Every structure is written in C-alpha cells, then in structure tokens.
Structure 1
Amino acid sequence: MKKSLFITGLYVFAAFISVAQEQPQKPRIETKPYGFVAWETIFDTYKSLDVRDGELHFYPLKPMFDDNGVDVNKKNQLQMLSIITRLGLQITGPDVLGAKTSARVETDFYATANAYTYLLRLRHAFINLKWQNTDLLLGNYWHPIIVNEILPATISFGAGAPFHSLNRSTQIRFSYFPVSNLRITLSAIAQGYHKSKGPEDAQRNSGLPELLGQLSLGNSKSLMIGASAGYKWLTPRLYIASSNTGTHKTIGQYLLSCFVMAKQNQSSFKAEVVYGENLTHLNMIGGYGRVTESDLNSDYDYANLRTLSTWFDVDHMMGKWAIGVFGGYSKLNGSSKNYSTIAGYNRDDDMNYVYRISPRVNYKEENLMLGIEYMLTTAVYGKTFDAQHKVTSSLDPVSNHRITISAKYSF
C-alpha cells in the first residue's frame, strides 16, 4: 500500500514538473518595436525660412527685390521627402523600488542640422519610474511645456511650429497626482540640439538648468486645462578679447503658458498661449541682444525680446476620415530695455508678426494613412523700430501657400 502511494506520488510530481516546463516563463524584460515609414510631396509658392530640405516650414522670408522691382523670393518649389520615417522601441521591465519601470528609445532620419539631413538622430531616450501617485522621468524627451494631450494634429511635420513649441531636451521630470485628475509637474532641463540662438554652450556656461513648473487639471477623454511657468539662464561670453578680460555676465529669461483641450463625441478642440523672453529654443521667433547704451567691447548687459504666440487646432473624426484645421499667430513685442541689433542672437528680430491657417483631411485604412493639407503662412516684417525694438511701421505682407500630400505606413 505504501509502495503504491509512493509510486503514485512520483507520477503526480513528474506530471507537475512536465506541465510547469511546458508553460512559458514571462520574460523579465519585454520590448515592442513601433514606428512608421513616411512619404511626402511638398509644394510651396514662396521661398521661406525652412530646414531639412523644406521639411519643417517656419514662414516666408523678407521680400527681396531686384533692379526690375521683382521679388526674387516669389518662386514655386517642389520637394519629396521620407526623412521623418521613424523607428522606436518601447521597453518594460520588473518593478524596482516599488515602481513600475519602462524605457523608450526613438529615432528618425531628420538629423540634428541641415548638414546631416538623412542621418539618424535621437528623438527620445528616457527611463520612466511610476509609483501609485508619482512619476519620475529621466532622459531625452519633449520639453515639459509640450503637453502630450494638447498636441496639434497637423499633417505637416512640426506640430504647428513656430506657433506651437518644438523642442526635445534632456531632463529630470517629477510628476505628482494628489487626486486622479490633478497633475503637478516640476522639471529641470538642459538644452540639447534644440538650443537658444547664440553660442551653443550659453546655458551650460550659466551652471544652471532651465526650471519649469506645470499644473494641469482634467483628463485626456473630456476636458483638460493647465498652465506652465519657467525660467532659464544663459551666459553667452566668458572672455572679452578687446580688453583681455573675463566675463560671466548672465541673463535670465522667463516663460509662461496656458492651455486647454476639450473633446465631445468625435470632435476635439485644443488651444494654447505662450508668452516669454527669448523663446528661440522652442523654435519660435525672438531672441536677445546687447543693451544699446553699453559699449560693444565692454562687459555689456543684455536685453530680451518678448514673444507672444498662440494657436488652436480643431479635429473631427468621421469613421475612417478625419478633417481638421490649425490656426496660429505669433508676434514680437520688443524689449523692456533699449535693444541693439548689433551683437544680437535671434531668429528674425525684424519680424512684426506671422500667422497661419491650415485645413487638412486624412483617411486611414488599417495601418495606412493618407492625408493632404493646405497651409497659408503670412509674415509681416517691421520697417522701422523704436529704441526698445517695437515696430513703428511695417513692410507689406508676404505669403507662402504650401500643399503637403502625405502617406504613412505604421507598425
């Protein structure tokens, strides 16, 4: 009897081991590739400030007339591109320090400068630790002023730049959720390939990170509102050649924003207002320069140019079809000090204002999306300025009409 029970036990144990071996063990690290292959045809009617062979469009250049009075910038242009083709890897792993862990690496062929177009660049590379009420992000990601829930749905690359911020930076970002629909975020940021105009090491030389706090209320399914406030420091020069002396003159620059998103059924509305000093690291107009009264060869003070930028985006889904429209307006508001264009660091400090209206339609079938977008961008440049660089008279407006036809195959 005992022998029979022992043999039966051995069979049960062997069967248990066999079943356990047949069941696959869940890997400690899981990876999921994602991305898309893109194709675009872009047609323009006026030569404009753009980068990467015309992929990212800002606004028309200032008119330039020849001896016959013809504006030579008024010229049709055509381009085909696939440089926004994207590849990413989403990574999840075991819990660490009581937090769910994940990471992401993402790249495309947009590169980091015009000279490197068609080469790979780092879009995102970050680690995320998520506790019950807190999140910690470490790495290269969207600048915190860019809220994922409030991104424009434009077909053209750039998500509405230069009206909407476009910036990726290395950062440490801490988010706290005291209640389910309230998010408080604090960030410290270092500039990467999206830098302020001027010396590339100006922020590094300051010895300080850019700081930004953000408060958002609501959720991505119905309504969200929020605001951000930030401050950064730049030290453009360490040495004055004319006097053979060092300088650590540092300038501070503030940033403010507020945003809203509302959804109902198949429609959504998003809008944002940004105001601040030297927003060039966000790919906006503006900059900073020397205070006029100071000597060019001295340890001079700096004057910031102030920029106002606002945009809206409306989108409506109709089954496999989607229609939408983006609108943006940005204006230079001069400085609080007397500003000199000599020894300045800026993106078109002779701009008065620029605006854009951009309707679109796209169709999605499985993992293939086809879209077409018309973009009217009009720029008005200043003709005369006061001592604080506020426009007192303007040149005639110049406009570019852009048509983008796009195809994306996602995976």
Structure 2
Amino acid sequence: MNHKLTLPCALMLAGLLLAPPTTMASETLEERVVRLEQELAELKNLLKKSPEPTAPSPSHSAPAVTAITTNSGVKARLYGFARFDASYDSGHIYPGNIALWAQPGTGGNDGEWNLTAGATRLGIDIGGPDTGYLKLSGNVELDFLGGGSENNLNPRLRHGYLKAYWPASDFSITAGQTWDLVSSLIPFVDDPGMMWASGNIGTRHPQLRLTKGFAVGEKSHLEIAAAASRTIGEKNSFGIDTGKDADMPTVQGRIALSAPLTDSGKPAAIALSGHYGQEEWDSDKLNHHETIDSWSCNVELSFPLSSRLLLAGEYFTGSNLDDYWGGVFQGVNAKGAKPEGIRSSGGWAALRYAYSPAVTISLGGGFDDPENGDLSGMENPRTFNRSLFAAYVNQLTPNFVFGLQLSKWDTGYLNTPDSDAVRAQSSMTYRF
C-alpha cells in the first residue's frame, strides 16, 4: 500500500465509524450498511489508482533457486562452492596445490608458496520423478584440479552417476563414476589431498554397483555392496593401458554394520572392504604378457566417543595400489626381469571435536609403508610416507567457511636421504 495514503484513509475510516449519533439518526440500519460499503469501495478504487512503491534491488544478488523442475518432471538443484587455498611449505611438497609427500633433496630448507582456486566445485543433484516403489536420483560434479596452468585450470569430473533405489526392499543400483567401496571414510583434513599416499586409499572410478540393506534389531543396520569398476593401469612399453587390457574389470565389495553403541545419539560403524583386479603387461605384440594382480583388504571404524567427539580411522594392506593412491602412489615395479606388484600397508586415525555447531577441531595422522624388497631397481622409489595434522574449521556463516591446517610430512627414499616438510595452510570457501 502507498504509505502516503495510509494516514488519510485511516482517518476517513475512523471518522465514518466514530461519527456523532446525530448525523446517523435519520438512517436505518440497512441504509447505513449500504452507505459504508459504497464509501469503502471508493477508498479501494483510490488505492488501486496509486502506484505501489518499488523497493531498490541489490545490484549483486539474485533470487535464490532451490530446485528447477524440467519438462520431464526431473528436479535439478545446483550447488557448489568457490574456494581459495593458500599454503606455505618449509620444503617442497608434491604436487603443491594439494599435499601428498615431501619431495627428495629439500630437507626442509627450501620453502615455497602455493595459491590456488582449483578446489572450487560445481555440482547438480537430480532426482525424480518417483513412483510408488522406485526413487531415481543422480549427480554430476566437477572441480578444477585436472591440470592446466595455474590461472587456466582444467575441469575434472568427480561424480557422474545415476541411482535407482527401491525403498521397500532397501536395494539400489548405482551406475557411473562415484566413490569406491574400498576404504570409504574421508579423513578430517582441510587439504583437498585427503591424506592420499599417506594412509588413505580409495578414490573414484566408473562402476556398476549393487547395494542391499538389512535391518538388524530395532536400531542397527547392515549394508552389503558389490561393484564392477574400471581398472586404470599404467602405460606399458607399447603405450597400452594395462588395466584396460586386462581380461576382467576390478571387483569391489564392502560390508558395513552401524549401531548405537553409546549415549551420544550417533551410531558407531565398522566396515570391511576390499577389491581384486588385474593388469596385463605385454612383453611383445604376440599377446605374451604377465598378469599383475591388484588387491586390498581394508577395515574402517567410526566411533562417537561423545556427542561432540568422534574417533575414526582405516587400515589397509594389499598390492599394486597406485590406482587407489596406495603404496605412496607406486603400483608395479617394471625394472626387473618381469613386472611385479608392489605390496604396501598403512592407515590413518583421527579425532574430531565439535567445539560448537560451527567450529570443529581435528587431530590425526597416517602412514603408508611399501615393502622395500619390492622396490629394488626402481629410480629413487618412496619407501614410506607419514603425515601428522591439526585442522581448525569455522563456519562463520552458513555460506562462508574458514579453515586452517598445520601438517608435518616425512617421506623416505631408497637411494637418497629422507625428506621432511611442514605445511601451513588456510582456506576460504563460499558455499552456494
């Protein structure tokens, strides 16, 4: 309503209702009602002719859209964040924008800066239309850690999958690229490197996955999942991808049990997972080859010690794990008489404390320890990799997040002295 007309209209209306009885004495009740209705109609017409005031619109904002429904009935929701990471390293840490291991020969005497927006992420959640027995969903997600120059980074597909879920039987089919079943927990680090090559294995692969859930008692839940996934091998001397050339895809499996074991209100979970695949290393063009196995056995634990304190960790052992960021990213030793898989074991453990709903503090560490005997003949292979970290994350607003992390990296080499470095990292993230 036009505020300039509000006061006059109110006064007129009050005058009509509070007029002295002498002015109304000659009116019957019906005549008075008719007269008041006519005058109110005149006031409404007067207001309609007056233009509504226009509020100035912010120059840098737009209406928030939570979801868009397509013509086919599918709902799509855009999400993501713009992120900036800045880090200072006391020595060279590979590859720089994320932390994986300390480079040889630096000894903590040659510091460097890394500034990047590569972890910026853009995604679309899609879902529906659902039926009485089937729910459809999917996801497409990109970031910009796919290489390129520092001010012209390449986009990288993180997720691209569809999921069909039957609630009545707690069964689902997932097809596309998403997280592996192998060691599916994510450490409480702020670094996008997620402790790969220093205790955390498992990444994302194209796969076809089947998942079945079972109720166990009143509050516990058992989940069994199996997947056939793409094997990504190394290039052999003929330029052929040894994983693509294998006779079978990689098979992954996971069984997980969750149950409320404490009074924290959050369930504890334990899981066993593993994978088996092959790489085919040709020795000539007549299909003479060596088959190198890739396998892992893994255990995961997530245990809430209280409503604010969470303990989590993983342990793995296996062979030829570079496709899963194990073995300090070393899978096959091709320098001997025939190629051999590199065995490795490791894991990580961490505590996360929720100081408040917006602030978390985390402490932890991890290690990856390849078998030294499997590394002979290689050029300066990594014999171990260890990391320790302390992270602070503050959600200043629902959309703006600030992070700090201090980490220590120690990496061993077979033919050169061990290297170490300290990284001080900060991040700023604007979520949408």
The alignment's TM-score, normalised by the length of structure 1, stands at 0.77
Cα distance change of structure 1 residues 355 and 339 upon mapping to structure 2, 3 Å threshold: closer
Partner of 2:117: 82
CA-CA distance at 1:237 after TM superposition: 2.1
Query: How many residues of Structure 1 are paired with residues of Structure 2 in the alignment?
Result: 343
State the partner residue of 2:162.
Answer: 127
Q: How many angstroms apart in 2 are the aligned matches of 1:154 and 1:238?
A: 42
2: CA distance, partners of 1:408 / 1:231: 37
Matched-pair contact (CA < 8 Å) for 1:152–1:313 = yes
Aligned with residue 134 of structure 2, among 96, 99, 104: 99
CA distance in 2, matches of 1:187, 1:82: 33
Aligned twin of 2:381: 350
Whether the aligned pair in 2 keeps the contact of 1:136 and 1:172 (CA below 8 Å) is yes
User: Do the aligned residues in 1 keep the contact of 2:274 with 2:296 (CA within 8 Å)?
Assistant: yes
Matches within 5 A, 1:277-316: 277-284=319-326, 285=328, 286-290=330-334, 292=336, 294=337, 301-316=338-353
Q: Does 1:364 align with 2:395?
A: yes
Residue range with higher mean Cα deviation, 326-335 or 258-267: 326-335
Cα deviation for residue 229 of structure 1 reads: 2.1
Following superposition, the deviation at residue 135 of structure 1 comes to 1.4
Question: Residue type of the partner of 1:255?
Answer: S
**Equivalent residue, structure 2, for 1:345:** none
Q: 1:79 to 1:351 in 2, by over 3 A?
A: closer
Paired with 1:340 and 1:353, the residues of 2 have a C-alpha distance of 14
Local SS of the residue matching 1:281 = helix
* Offset at residue 86 of structure 1 (A): 0.4
Give 3-state SS (helix, strand or coil) of 2:128's partner: strand
Structure 1 counterpart of 2:324, which letter? L
Supply the distance in 1 between the matched residues of 2:316 and 2:166 (Cα, whole angstroms): 31
Partner SS, residue 203 of structure 1:
coil
Change (3 A) 1:169 1:117: farther
Match of 1:318 among 314, 332, 355: 355
Contact 2:87 2:115 (8 Å CA) reproduced: yes
The alpha-carbon distance between structure 1 residues 258 and 112, as it changes in their structure 2 partners (threshold 3 A), is farther
Which residue in 1 is equivalent to 2:43? Answer: none
Identify if the C-alpha distance between structure 1 residues 239 and 183 changes in structure 2 by more than 3 Å, giving closer, same or farther. Answer: same
User: Which ranges of structure 1 fall in alignment gaps of 5 or more residues?
Assistant: 1-25, 65-70, 295-300, 343-347, 384-394
Inter-partner Cα distance in structure 1 for 2:278 and 2:361: 41
Distance 2:109 2:288 in 1: 45
Residues 1:257 and 2:293 aligned together: no
Residues 107, 288 of structure 1: alpha-carbon distance in 2 compared, 3 angstrom cutoff: same
CA distance in 1, matches of 2:300, 2:91: 32
Please tell me whether the aligned partners of residues 109 and 117 of structure 1 are also in contact (alpha carbons under 8 angstroms).
Answer: no
How far does residue 198 in structure 1 lie from its aligned partner after superposition?
A: 4.1
Supply the AA of the counterpart residue of 2:300. Answer: F
- Looking at structure 2, the residues matched to 267 and 178 of structure 1 have their Cα atoms a distance apart, in angstroms, of 28
CA distance in 1, matches of 2:350, 2:279: 33
Query: What residue in structure 1 maps to residue 80 of structure 2?
Result: 35
- TM-score computed with the length of structure 2 as normaliser: 0.73
Q: Is the Cα contact below 8 Å between 2:139 and 2:160 reproduced in 1?
A: yes
1:103–1:313 Cα change, 3 Å: same
CA contact (8 A) 2:183 2:299 kept: no
Report if aligned partners of 2:171, 2:212 keep a CA contact under 8 Å in 1.
yes
1:370, 1:314 → 2: CA distance? 19
Larger Rg, first or second structure (1 or 2): 2
> Per-residue displacement from partner, 1:115-145 (whole Å, max 9, x unpaired)?
9961211110000011122111100111221
1:381 aligns with 2:413: yes
Report the Cα offset of residue 261 of structure 1. 0.2
Equivalences for residues 108-257 of structure 1 within 5 A? 108-111=143-146, 118-132=153-167, 133-147=170-184, 150-162=185-197, 163-179=199-215, 181-191=221-231, 195-199=232-236, 201-218=241-258, 221-237=266-282, 239=284, 245-257=286-298
Question: Which whole-Å CA distance do the structure 2 matches of 1:371 and 1:256 have between them?
Answer: 33
Letter in 1 for 2:141: E
After superposition, give the CA deviation of every residue in 1:153-175 in whole Å (9 maximum; x if it has no partner). Answer: 21111222122125211001111
Counterpart in 2 of 1:271? 313
State the Cα RMSD in Å. 2.6
CA distance in 1, matches of 2:424, 2:288: 49
SS of residue paired to 2:174: strand
Check if 1:327 corresponds to 2:365: yes
In the TM superposition, what is the alpha-carbon distance from 1:238 to its structure 2 partner? 6.2
Q: Which runs of 5+ in 2 are unaligned?
A: 1-68, 261-265
Q: Which amino acid aligns with 1:258?
A: V
Is 1:398 matched up with 2:419? Answer: yes
Indicate the structure with greater strand content: 1
**Residues 289 and 339 in structure 1, CA contact (< 8 A), matched pair in contact too:** yes
Q: Is the 8 A contact 1:253 1:277 kept in 2?
A: yes
Relative distance call for 1:397 and 1:33 in structure 2 (3 A) is same
Provide the rounded CA distance (Å) in 1 between the counterparts of 2:143 and 2:87.
19
Whether contact under 8 Å (1:291, 1:339) holds in the other structure is no
